[in-house]
Amino acid sequence: MNGSTDERAGRLRPPKILHWALLVLPLLFLVLFYFYPLAKIVTLSFLPDGSWQPDQLRRIFHSPVFGRIIWFTTWQATLSTLLTLAVALPGAYVFARFTFPGKNLLQALTTVPFVLPTVVTAAAFRALLGNNGLVNSWLMTILDLTTPPIKLDQTVSFFLLAHVFYNYALVLRIVGGYWAGLDRSLSAAARMLGASPWQTFQRITFPLLLPAIGSAALLVFIFCFTSFGVVLILGGPSYATIEVEIYRQAVQLFNLPMAAVLSLIQIGINFLLMYFYARLDRKTKSGFYSDTAMGEAIQPGTGSQKLLVGSNVAFMLLLMVIPLLALVIRSFVGEDGLTLAFYNALFTSQAKSVFFVEPISAVKNSVGFGLAAMVLAVILGLLAATFIASGDSRQRSLWDALIMLPLATSAVTLGFGYIITLNRPPLNLRDSLALVPIAHALVAFPFVIRCILPSIRQIPHTLREAASLLGASPLVVWRKIDLPLITRAILVGAVFAFSISMGEFGASAFVTRPHTPTMPVAIFRFLGQPGEMNYGQAMAMSTILMLVTCSGFWLLGRLDSYRKGALH
């Protein structure tokens, strides 16, 4: 799209003031729950008594350790992102183009890892690939070995594998959803003109997909960059990301200035990345749009199609479903084989403790927070995405990057920031439950933006102009044109917003709160004390967490298919 059309579109589109109005709510939210707490904790760290104390910071420039940590963080995030893209893009293609039995369920299952606490994921992988895991014992018996052949624990490979496990669904759903909505007549034309399938992909499909791939890759990168539990637990103590070091400095060593500097470095690196990405993203926006109904997914027909679908499904089963299954099985197996003891205990015993809750209330709490965070994130994300997509100025790239910042910010730092800021009426929220979904939404709403933006940008201005010329108000244009075309993207964003909350991501882990046991909180409570029953109940609660999440996503998937069905 060249400059002149943009200008023309600009004149026809509603006045500027309306666009800035879109930003009011997201901006207010960010200022209150992000910039203000962050600024205050950073200032307090640097000027504890109103004076600048640089002594505690000197080390950062003298110790080689911090340089190494920053390098390691960047390196592992890059590698994790590339690996995830490499294995998930073929999967995205399969999901975009083909139907097969159980597709909906498989899609829901791939998103489940997102909500699992790291300790539980570690247990799942160890049950399979650990020194005494299934695969090793099996290999040792078959090959008659005395030591386990696979040594995964506390290696780089282990947490890279876990990063792929956690982020696979991100690429699958963001790229897959976008891919399914691409106009297929272009690639069909290319094929007719004699292009090979590879040429078609390279020249037509891939460039069209770039915005979605970029969105997904950016999210995966930031997630891995700020990785905390995965690196800490699976990688072992020899590896530390910036986020891990911030926690160490702030909590264990009480060196707040150092923690603040590291937080700023983490934010700075990600801000630059997001800014350049936003600039690039604006340039790659494509105006291709299909005015026919979105392409139907087909059943795999030819042998090679069947092979493609089969191998990808097999990979997903291997990577996602089997480790999850290992957990489920563990929750049903006791000393003497199959048992329901852990589930029975979950529902009956321990009722003595003040902090005991019925599993059903834990489910209710989790789902309640999840829905609240989701609604908040979707509203804010939709407003912000519409704002970012609707301008032409470079400023919008800046806004784009700014709005994404919460995702790249240390949870400890922000959590501590809440303590010292939201402490007076009317915003006396620091120990209230409302802060939990707010903290979740803060991480979730940049996610929603990244899911929606590629789709909004794909809508050509000509459509909106036509509608405006025919007398439709901006609101009607948005409702009749934009909304139907981005519903799928909103759904994907909602799914992730919900999962982020169910998995208790971000600052909520460091927010002080009255006792409201969500499912992850309950899992941690069981894992805090020795004993077979505690471990078993943790696995049983994890199974329930997976079940609830999976059925939620499956329902959303059904809703999506129903909506599509209604469209045709």
Q: Taking CB under 8 A as the criterion, which residues in 507-526 touch another protein?
A: 509-510, 512-515, 524-525
x/- letters, 479..498, toward another protein (CB under 8 A): x-------------------
Distance CA 70, CA 422 (A): 31
For another protein, the binding residues in 115-144 under the rule CB under 8 A are 119, 122-123, 126-127, 130-133
The single residue listed with the structure tokens 């940590």 is: 69
If we measure between CA atoms, which residue out of 343, 303, 305, 252 comes closest to residue 98? 305
For another protein, the binding residues in 251-270 under the rule CB under 8 A are 251-255
Minimum gap (Å) between residue 426 Cβ and another protein:
12
Return the number of the residue (3 or 528) whose C-beta is nearest another protein: 528
Helix (H, G, I), strand (E, B) or coil at 334: strand
Contacts of residue 175, defined as CB under 8 A and 6 or more positions apart, other chains included, come to 88, 89, 92, 96, 209, 212, 213, 216
Return the number of the residue (531 or 565) whose C-beta is nearest another protein: 531
Return the number of the residue (253 or 307) whose C-beta is nearest another protein: 253
Minimum gap (Å) between residue 281 Cβ and another protein:
26
Stretch that binds another protein, among 138-146, 202-210, 418-426, 489-497 (CB under 8 A): 418-426
423: which strand partners? 428
Q: Using the rule CB under 8 A, is 552 a contact of another protein? A: no
Q: Using the rule CB under 8 A, is 420 a contact of another protein? A: yes
Q: Are strands 337-338 and 333-334 parallel, antiparallel or unpaired?
A: antiparallel
Of residues 198, 352, 471, 568, which one binds another protein by CB under 8 A? Answer: 352
Q: Other CB atoms closer than 10 Å to residue 255's CB: what's the count?
A: 18
Return the number of the residue (283 or 424) whose C-beta is nearest another protein: 424
160: which strand partners? none
Phi-psi region of 102 (alpha: psi -120 to 50; beta: other; left: phi over 0): left
Token pair in block for residue 87: 């294995």
**In the 3-class helix/strand/coil scheme, how is 535-561 assigned residue by residue?**
HHHHHHHHHHHHHHHHHHHHHHHHHHH
For another protein, the binding residues in 319-348 under the rule CB under 8 A are 334-336, 339, 341
Minimum gap (Å) between residue 438 Cβ and another protein:
8
Of residues 430, 440, 450, 488, which one binds another protein by CB under 8 A? Answer: 430
Of residues 527, 540, 541, 548, which one binds another protein by CB under 8 A? Answer: 527
For another protein, the binding residues in 366-385 under the rule CB under 8 A are 368, 372, 375-376, 379
Token pair in block for residue 477: 């244009």
Q: Using the rule CB under 8 A, is 423 a contact of another protein? A: yes
Return the number of the residue (380 or 548) whose C-beta is nearest another protein: 380
Distance CA 456, CA 345 (A): 49
> Is the peptide bond preceding residue 426 cis, with omega within 30 degrees of 0?
yes
Distance CA 288, CA 191 (A): 17
Minimum gap (Å) between residue 537 Cβ and another protein:
9
Of residues 12, 314, 475, 559, which one binds another protein by CB under 8 A? Answer: 475
At residue 333, φ and ψ (nearest 5 deg) are: -110, 125
Q: Using the rule CB under 8 A, is 529 a contact of another protein? A: yes
Minimum gap (Å) between residue 134 Cβ and another protein:
9
Q: Using the rule CB under 8 A, is 530 a contact of another protein? A: yes
Stretch that binds another protein, among 100-108, 313-321, 444-452, 475-483 (CB under 8 A): 475-483
Return the number of the residue (245 or 560) whose C-beta is nearest another protein: 245
Mark out the alpha helices in 459-508 (DSSP H runs): 461-469, 474-477, 483-502
Q: Using the rule CB under 8 A, is 201 a contact of another protein? A: no
Token pair in block for residue 217: 């890759």
428: which strand partners? 423
Stretch that binds another protein, among 69-77, 240-248, 280-288, 290-298 (CB under 8 A): 240-248
Of residues 1, 32, 44, 325, which one binds another protein by CB under 8 A? Answer: 44
Return the number of the residue (151 or 279) whose C-beta is nearest another protein: 151
Q: Using the rule CB under 8 A, is 183 a contact of another protein? A: no
Of residues 104, 533, 554, 564, which one binds another protein by CB under 8 A? Answer: 533
Q: Using the rule CB under 8 A, is 248 a contact of another protein? A: yes
Minimum gap (Å) between residue 10 Cβ and another protein:
23
Return the number of the residue (303 or 530) whose C-beta is nearest another protein: 530
User: What is the DSSP code (8-state) at residue 228?
Assistant: -
CA 162 to each of CA 114, 117, 433: distance values in angstroms, whole numbers, following the listed order:
11, 12, 31
Minimum gap (Å) between residue 341 Cβ and another protein:
6
Of residues 276, 288, 347, 356, which one binds another protein by CB under 8 A? Answer: 356
Distance CA 551, CA 367 (A): 12
Distance CA 376, CA 370 (A): 10
Of residues 536, 552, 553, 560, which one binds another protein by CB under 8 A? Answer: 536
Instruction: For 403-497, list the strands marked E by DSSP.
Output: 423-424, 427-428
The single residue listed with the structure tokens 């590629």 is: 454
Minimum gap (Å) between residue 195 Cβ and another protein:
43
Distance CA 443, CA 447 (A): 7
Round to the nearest angstrom and report the end-to-end CA distance of the chain: 30
Residues in the chain: 568
Q: Using the rule CB under 8 A, is 431 a contact of another protein? A: yes
Minimum gap (Å) between residue 401 Cβ and another protein:
25
Minimum gap (Å) between residue 450 Cβ and another protein:
21
